[in-house]
Structure 1
Amino acid sequence: MPNNRMESIWKKEQTFEEREPLRGDISVDVAIIGGGMAGLLTAFFLQQKGLKTVVLEAQTITSGQTQNTTAKITSQHGLIYDNLIQNFGAEKAALYANANEEAIKRYEAIIKERGIDCHFEKKPSYLYSLKDSRVIEKEVDAAVNCGISATFTVNTALPFDVKGAVKFEKQAQFQPLEFLKEIINPLTIYEHTQAKAIDDSIILTEQGRVRAEHIVVASHYPFINTPGYYFLRMHQERSYVMALKNTPSLDGMYRDESMEGLSFRTHKNMLILGGGGHRTGENTPGTGYGMLKEAAAKYYPEHELVCRWSAQDCHTIDSVPYIGKYSPSTPNLYVATGFKKWGMTGSMVSAGILSDMITGVKNPYEDLYTPHRFQVSASMVSLLDETRHVASGLLIDKLKPVKKHLDTISNGQGGIIEEDGQKMGVYKEKDGKTHCVSITCTHLGCQLAWNAEELTWDCPCHGSRFSYTGELIDNPALEDIHYEEA
């Protein structure tokens, strides 16, 4: 498979011993699908509670979004608290704040108790605006009302002036793979074991069947379409990151309130610069790595690029993750998804809720995060927007005529062409070697879009991604797309 994705600084610094694939049928108390932070933390808690637990990972552990995070452990999740109060009420907004503040403390407790060296640092987190101080002031008031230590400031360590920033105290950052390295040793993990389907209490894989009393789907995006219908209630967004040397240190973590803005944190002697976000399948050339490259040159002209990478995040229709029973009709099937770029605190919250639910303990946050909620004020507009995107990918895009033909695609470029009345995706390497693929996503049949910055085919409906030779990169799809070498 072409290595179209760069390696994150976390992956460069920390590797894991390979785990064997599943070999034959097994029976356990709990089976967890997905070897990222959420799945591994849940397994860690359940094993501590005495349950026989296994983790099934389609590739290798942390190979999905966990290795691509910016690794901020924070309750500051964009302009969220004022919206939560408006849409969920003050009590539930305060519950959300407390759940995430508690997640920070649980990380710290585990790290201290086990003596884990993972560059864990307590630092303030800032959400800033370049345009409007009023939205920041409202967020400060809302966060304080939710019990968070938040203040307004215009004084930051950023290389530009801001209209205002909300500062959260006692937040944290770390090296996530160093953390996981120390907690996964006692866990039973099967790598290169893809869950193909779930039949009641049995997970079907090519290597064997796993019978479990409880099953957790922590595979980033839920791959079971029905029941649950998560594909109607979420979308995915991409963001881009660079690690830079020869940059000044920062006093904390920073993020623009705008989706298109920049994110900052330090790690050792490096700056982790992020941004360029967009909905998967709707990227414009130059807005991802190109935008970061321009920002780095402008604000840190002496910088040295160490590495770059990208991430993908699931967004729910009301901005609160889905954690709990997969559907009302599947009492022993659970899900954790929709962390909206805040997967570190989201994973810890998930592990706490799910491990309690599975062991019969009432968790104070499970009703807030239940996947079966529907807040009309928070969800209706987003639900209609999701429906519009799916309709476009399934119908409108497929009906649009294509003017390009094979000879109109230059070397080093890709795009959709039409030959003999049939659409296909084409990428030509710089030497002219040509790769042709189907542009129909193997998830639900939406038309794929070419991602020129990462040389991938991305689904604008649900976020599945494929290499230019057709191999699956990101779910919810489970199968590759058809490939031919021209």
Structure 2
Amino acid sequence: MKSIWRDDIEISERERLNGDIKTQVAVIGGGLAGILTAYFLYKQGKEVVVLEAKNIGSGQTQNTTAKITGQHNLIYNTLIQDFGLEKARQYADANKKAILEYKRIIEEEKIHCQFKVCPAYLYSQESSQSLEQEAQAAKQAGLDCSLTTETNLPFPVKAALRFNSQAQFHPLAFLKAIAEPLTIYENTAAEQLDGNCVVTKYSNVTAEHIVIATHYPFLNVPGYYFMRMHQERSYVIALKNAMQINGMYLSVDKGGYSFRNSGDLLILGGGQHRTGENSLGGQYSKLRDAAKKFFPESIEVSHWSAQDCMTLDNVPYIGQFSSSTQNWYVATGFAKWGMTNSMISAMIISDGILERQNSFAPIFSPQRFKFSASAKTLVEDGIQAVKGLMTEIFTLPEEEINQLPKGHGGIVEYKGHKVGVYKDETGKAYIVSTRCTHLGCQLEWNPDELSWDCPCHGSRFDYKGNLINNPAMENLNTIK
């Protein structure tokens, strides 16, 4: 299970850091947000070091659908209602600038990354009302958009909202190019921060400024981001012999689909759910059924999934990590829009370190809290966390290991204890603790990806107990 971006790009590995060093800026995280931030600072003459736990681009950057767009679902109407028109314009301006910055860098560095300017559409097969409201709000925020019923989709729509001058690209081809001149240490996971010191397993990095760009912050305190975000998953299949749709499309209907082309392939996405809430599976099956319906001659060539951090008000947290840590910065909560938000993060954080004013930084400030925009999600996330903790503490399953079929996983009782088990096709059982190593919530089995997922904060582990996604920092306990 590998994305099409990983199929045709090889990025040379970097060495592990094996000795203490000092630098002006330490960037933790080698995804697009971290690498772009380091790139901007390097271009301004700063001494920058990037620390990556695995390999650069091996996290969410390789699993994106790679849309560079300011069209972020039905957000502008909500932004105006919750934050006012000025802040909504800041959000829109940031995204417009992000698209232009990608274009500038690609042209300046002569990067071959399939960059293509094209429109992005929101569409509905059910109602035009929400799109009409969004069109009015987006225009007030300063975006070039218009309503239409004409699309290249394989079905009719009630309405579509077209955003002009958006873009798409090959994210790893771009990442590889801008990372080339940077000082990067791979397989060097940050384990803790102590003032201006980044502590890793093998060495320490002392820095004047520290940027945490690890998708989900690995520190619980300060910042308390685990109380202000949850994570969601979505699924993608790539098809050949489908069609050219000449744009990027996202449904605003529940259970709808997203579409975009990459060369002669069509990328079909959907199946969104909260991490840890896919015990029945079937997300890829739904996409394959849709592919057969819309494109009967198509052939699947790849499938993969992505994980996204969702903030309380659907606006990323970008800027100073907390009020008590003046020289720490964070970039997280990108929702489904990691490409534009990675660029926005790099612009805001590099401006902060370089002591330059940034006109659109206020809307993204991690220190913001507007109760009306956050209350509903805050309550839902709180209930989910309590539920996950109580389930782990008080419930025992009825099933035992011998009742679990081959090729299946689940929570079972083993010697009077609750455990997670995956039984492979040969009947070999892989037994792990069901307790998430982050804050102890009960993990749930994800049959689509053979993983153990945390419904509280989104940590994920493979069926052997190895950590896949943070905020957890440790593997699961296993039972031989």
Query: Do these two structures clear the TM 0.5 threshold for a shared fold by scoring above it?
Result: yes
Higher mean C-alpha deviation, range 259-268 or range 299-308: 259-268
Which whole-Å CA distance do the structure 2 matches of 1:287 and 1:76 have between them? 28
RMSD over aligned CA atoms reads: 0.9
> Which of these residues, 49, 54, 64, is aligned with residue 59 of structure 1?
54
From 403, 406, 421, give the equivalent of 2:401.
406
Aligned to 1:464: 459
- Residue 18 (structure 2) aligns with: 23
User: Which string of whole-angstrom CA distances, capped at 9 and with x for unpartnered residues, describes residues 166-225 of structure 1?
Assistant: 100000000011111211111000000000000111111112000001000000000100
What secondary structure does 1:430 align onto? coil
> Which secondary structure state, in structure 2, belongs to the residue aligned with residue 113 of structure 1?
helix
Q: For 2:202, which of 191, 204, 207 is the aligned residue?
A: 207
Post-superposition shift, 1:13? 1.1
Contact 2:392 2:434 in 1 (8 A): no
Q: Whole-Å Cα distance in 2 between the matches of residues 11 and 398 of structure 1?
A: 40
Native 8 Å contact 2:191 2:200 kept in 1 = yes
Please report how far the alpha carbon of residue 397 of structure 1 lies from its aligned counterpart in structure 2 after TM superposition: 4.8
SS of the equivalent of 1:291 reads: helix
Deviation at residue 484 of structure 1 after TM alignment: 2.5
Residue correspondence of structure 1 range 340-351 to structure 2 within 5 A:
340-351=335-346
Deviations 1:20-54 (A, max 9, x none): 00011000000011000000000000111111001
- TM-score, normalised relative to structure 2: 0.99
Shift of 1:362: 1.5
Moved more, 398-407 or 81-90: 398-407
Deviation at 1:372, TM superposition (A): 0.7
Matched to 2:377, the amino acid is: S
Percentage of pairs with the same residue:
54
Give every structure 1 segment of 4 or more consecutive aligned residues whose post-TM-superposition deviation is greater than 2 Å: 284-287
SS at match of 1:332: strand
What code does the residue aligned with 1:358 have? I
Alignment partners' CA distance in 1, 2:160 and 2:214: 34
| Count of aligned residue pairs for this structure pair | 480
Q: 1:468 to 1:284 in 2, by over 3 A?
A: closer
One-letter amino acid of the structure 2 residue matched with residue 37 of structure 1: L
Alignment of 1:39-188 (within 5 A): 39-188=34-183
In 2, are the aligned partners of 1:259 and 1:277 still within 8 Å (CA)? no
Q: Measured at CA, do residues 470 and 284 of structure 1 come closer, stay the same or move farther in structure 2, by a change above 3 Å? A: closer
- Deviation, 1:283, is 1.2
User: Structure 1 pair 455/203, CA: closer, same or farther in 2 (3 Å)?
Assistant: same
- DSSP 3-state at the match of 1:186: coil
Structure 1 residues not aligned, in runs of 5+? 1-5
Aligned positions of 1:223-238 closer than 5 A: 223-238=218-233
Return the alpha-carbon distance in structure 1 between the equivalents of residues 468 and 286 of structure 2. Answer: 23
| Alpha-carbon distance, 1:419 to partner | 2.4
Looking at structure 2, the residues matched to 199 and 217 of structure 1 have their Cα atoms a distance apart, in angstroms, of: 13
Query: 2:325 aligns to what SS in structure 1?
Result: coil
Partner residue of 1:299 out of 285, 294, 297:
294
Aligned amino acid, residue 352 of structure 1 = M
Distance 1:41 1:288 in 2: 32
- Whole-angstrom CA distance in 2 between matches of 1:437 and 1:147: 52
Q: Quick one: distance in 2 between partners of 1:477 and 1:290?
A: 29
Q: Where does residue 262 of structure 2 map in the other structure?
A: 267
Is the contact made by 2:391 and 2:442 (CA closer than 8 Å) also made in structure 1? no
User: CA contact under 8 A between 1:259 and 1:278: conserved in structure 2?
Assistant: no
Residue 3 (structure 1) aligns with: none
Change in Cα spacing, 1:92 to 1:287, as seen in structure 2 (3 Å) is farther
Q: Deviations over 1:107-148 (max 9, x none)?
A: 001111111111100000001112221001001111111110
Quote the offset at 1:286 in angstroms: 4.2
1:33 aligns with 2:33: no
| Deviations, residues 206-249 of structure 1 (Å, cap 9, x unaligned) | 12000001000000000100010000000000011111100110
In 2, Cα distance between equivalents of 1:284 and 1:419: 20
1:400, distance to aligned residue in structure 2 (A): 2.6
TM-score normalised to structure 1 length: 0.97
| Contact 1:250 1:265 (8 Å CA) reproduced | yes
Who is 2:435 aligned against? 440
Secondary structure, counterpart of 1:326 in structure 2? strand
SS, match of residue 109 in structure 1: helix
Counterpart residue number, 1:333: 328
What displacement does 1:418 show? 1.3
Contact preservation (8 Å) 2:251, 2:257: yes
In structure 2, runs of 5+ residues without a counterpart are none
